């Protein structure tokens, strides 16, 4: 047995050999670390053979609020959920060969919001906070600054090139991130016309839900929450008819779901609003899918009703199976949108479980596509003031306590803390003693330094993980708006296509690659 085989055996069985010291026995041996490093080096040397194929398919995974500390904590949680220490675990995104950093500021904000950042990574143009699909010449909430300042997204570039396109999110489908794919709106909160000031409606500005169905009327797959923005005001929700807060909000009387259904009824179109109907579909018989599973945002993964609501992974699975039927390929935007919401509420457990689920969806997407004709990018729009520390021991629960008490107030503290947010609590003039509360609860709000009703975003750079054709172009430290330009370049869509022509004037072909070789190489990629 050679050294590489020995290390592989150690990796497979070593996690079972834990000592009281809290780490695997083989880690005491320097040879373990040296062999691991050499194996990593050998893999790195293969990256000199750049994948310059044309990307038939493009997948953009967006973890809303998934800053680098969130990625690290998610990695540990994933491992601990599998009975491991966690630190040595690999997320699916960790396996991507190229990693860059994205500068997330908005044109008018040092610490950005999800609308201005979505405009950057979807439309390739930096924008003001609170605005989607419009340039920085637009002013938030000022309707008359919309016209003439619209910018289009990579989803539209892909659709114009003949590809199928899709949007999957755990927020409402007219939330900030997905709306940048199709809308041009100076206020991210104009979900329906019932959420708009009357003067904006009178001036001709359109709400985001309406734009979803009108701007690019043939989006192939749309899945997420957001039902109430699609129905006339006071229309009871089909799932929660007795709860008025879930009633329709539209004041123009339009039923956008019904309009969409009528439009696609003869084009293999399907509307679903629960998991059972979604999973009963045969993707081979569906060309257009609208899935709206909640009145507003979808439930947190930890609270999801597994009988009625699909997971992000299940939605991604169906989406890709529908989209990949197009011989011209597809573009798919997938948002793990509630990572952000968990952090805003100071509920780290909710946020991290959302991120673990997104990583499962990334794994599923990899199994359904080929590394050789699919470019996959995983990134975040911005970070949060979330951190974990406190000299915790190896294998310490990511939600657990630091091993010491504060040397100032002599009270325990959790490893996870926030710079600001709703977790700031004072009892009798001093910091709350968390030994009296259930800090492992799903909705526990981690302590914060500054009291705020909602925790804020962070301003630091976020990671960009990439694999597939032209993934090497996402390198170094880049402006966020660079991302869709690289993806468009890889797929030969959008404005920069000169490199896509061979001497004969036709696009390069991948037909010379053996299907069996492609399968073997893809499987090797997944396993390694």
- Go through the domains of the chain in sequence order and give each one's CATH number: 51-385+458-491 (3.40.720.10), 401-451 (no CATH)
Give the pLDDT of residue 498.
87
Instruction: Kindly report the number of other CB atoms within 10 A of residue 144's CB atom.
Output: 13
457 appears as a binding residue in the annotation: yes
Q: Do residues 27 and 345 touch, judged by C-beta distance below 8 A? A: no
114 is catalytic: yes
Pull the structure tokens for residue 135: 């340039």
382 appears as a binding residue in the annotation: yes
C-alpha closest to that of 356 among 125, 63, 143, 146:
63
Give the pLDDT of residue 502.
52
C-alpha closest to that of 471 among 463, 459, 453, 483:
483
381 appears as a binding residue in the annotation: yes
Give the pLDDT of residue 427.
86
Q: Kindly report, residue by residue over 412-471, the tens digit of the pLDDT.
A: 999 999 999 999 999 888 999 999 899 999 999 999 999 999 999 999 999 999 999 999
407 appears as a binding residue in the annotation: no
User: Which residues on adjacent β-strands are paired with residue 386?
Assistant: 418
64 appears as a binding residue in the annotation: yes
In whole angstroms, what is the distance from residue 528 CA to residue 526 CA?
6
Count the residues in the chain: 528
In whole angstroms, what is the distance from residue 422 CA to residue 342 CA?
12
Cα atoms in the 13 Å half-sphere on the side-chain side of 94: 18
Helix (H, G, I), strand (E, B) or coil at 456: coil
Give the pLDDT of residue 516.
53
| Letter string b/e over residues 19-36, b meaning 16 or more CB atoms within 10 A of that residue's CB | eeeebbebbeeeebeebe
**Catalytic residue from among 20, 21, 102, 114:** 114
Instruction: Kindly report the number of other CB atoms within 10 A of residue 426's CB atom.
Output: 9
Q: Kindly report, residue by residue over 469-510, the tens digit of the pLDDT.
A: 999 999 999 999 999 999 999 999 998 888 987 533 334 444
175 appears as a binding residue in the annotation: yes
171's enclosing H/E stretch is strand 164-172
In whole angstroms, what is the distance from residue 117 CA to residue 340 CA?
13
Say whether pTM exceeds 0.85.
Answer: yes
Helix (H, G, I), strand (E, B) or coil at 125: coil
C-alpha closest to that of 446 among 350, 318, 304, 315:
350
160 appears as a binding residue in the annotation: no
Q: Kindly report, residue by residue over 282-294, the tens digit of the pLDDT.
A: 999 999 999 999 9
pLDDT beneath 50: ranges in the chain: 1, 3-20, 503-513, 521, 523-526, 528
In whole angstroms, what is the distance from residue 150 CA to residue 122 CA?
13
Burial of 233 (0-12, 13-18, 19+ CB in 10 A): middle
Give the pLDDT of residue 288.
98
Backbone dihedral region for residue 65 (phi beyond 0: left; psi -120 to 50: alpha; all else: beta): left
Give the pLDDT of residue 414.
98
In whole angstroms, what is the distance from residue 419 CA to residue 69 CA?
13
């Amino acid at each position: 047995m050679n050294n590489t085989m020995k290390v592989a055996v150690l990796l497979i069985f070593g996690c079972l050999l834990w000592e009281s010291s809290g780490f695997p026995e083989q880690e005491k041996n320097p040879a373990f670390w040296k062999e691991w490093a050499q194996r990593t080096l050998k893999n790195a040397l293969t990256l000199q053979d750049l994948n310059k194929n044309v990307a038939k398919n493009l997948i953009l995974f967006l973890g809303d609020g998934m800053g680098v500390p969130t990625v690290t904590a998610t990695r540990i949680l994933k491992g601990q959920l599998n009975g491991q220490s966690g630190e040595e675990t690999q997320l699916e995104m960790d396996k991507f060969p190229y990693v860059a950093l994205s500068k997330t500021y908005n044109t008018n904000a040092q610490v950005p919001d999800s609308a201005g950042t979505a405009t950057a990574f979807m439309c390739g143009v930096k924008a003001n906070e609170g605005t989607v699909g419009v340039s920085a010449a637009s002013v938030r909430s000022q309707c008359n600054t919309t016209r003439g300042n619209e910018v289009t997204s990579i989803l539209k570039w892909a659709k114009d090139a003949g590809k199928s396109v899709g949007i999957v999110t755990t927020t409402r489908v007219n939330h900030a991130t997905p709306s940048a794919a199709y809308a041009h709106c100076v206020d991210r909160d104009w979900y329906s016309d019932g959420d708009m000031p009357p003067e904006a409606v009178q001036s001709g500005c359109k709400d985001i839900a309406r734009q979803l169905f009108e701007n690019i009327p043939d989006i192939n797959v749309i899945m997420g929450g957001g039902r109430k923005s699609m129905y006339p005001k006071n229309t009871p929700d089909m799932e929660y008819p007795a709860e008025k807060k879930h009633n329709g909000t539209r004041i123009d009387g339009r039923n956008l779901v019904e309009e969409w259904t009528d439009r696609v009824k003869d084009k293999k179109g399907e509307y679903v609003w629960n998991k059972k109907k979604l999973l009963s579909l045969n993707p081979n018989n569906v060309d257009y899918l609208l899935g709206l599973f909640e009145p507003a945002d979808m439930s947190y993964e930890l609270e999801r009703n597994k009988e009625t609501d699909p997971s992000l992974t299940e939605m991604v699975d169906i989406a890709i199976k529908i989209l990949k039927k197009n011989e011209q390929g597809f573009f798919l935007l997938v948002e793990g949108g509630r990572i952000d919401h968990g952090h805003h509420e100071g509920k780290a457990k909710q946020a991290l479980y959302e991120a673990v689920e997104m990583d499962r969806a990334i794994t599923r997407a990899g199994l359904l596509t080929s590394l050789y004709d699919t470019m996959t990018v995983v990134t975040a729009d911005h970070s949060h003031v979330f951190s974990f520390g406190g000299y915790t021991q190896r294998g310490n629960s990511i939600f657990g306590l630091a091993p010491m008490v504060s040397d100032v107030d002599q009270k325990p503290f959790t490893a996870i803390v926030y710079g600001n947010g709703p977790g700031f609590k004072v009892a009798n003039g001093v910091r709350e003693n968390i030994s009296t509360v259930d800090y492992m609860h799903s909705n526990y709000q981690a302590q914060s330094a500054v009291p705020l009703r909602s925790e804020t975003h962070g301003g630091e750079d976020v990671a960009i993980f990439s694999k597939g054709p032209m993934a090497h172009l996402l390198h170094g430290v880049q402006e966020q708006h660079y991302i869709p330009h690289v993806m468009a370049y890889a797929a030969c869509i959008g404005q920069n296509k000169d490199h896509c022509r061979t001497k004969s004037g036709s696009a390069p072909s991948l037909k010379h690659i053996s299907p069996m070789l492609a399968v073997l190489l893809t499987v090797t990629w997944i396993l390694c």
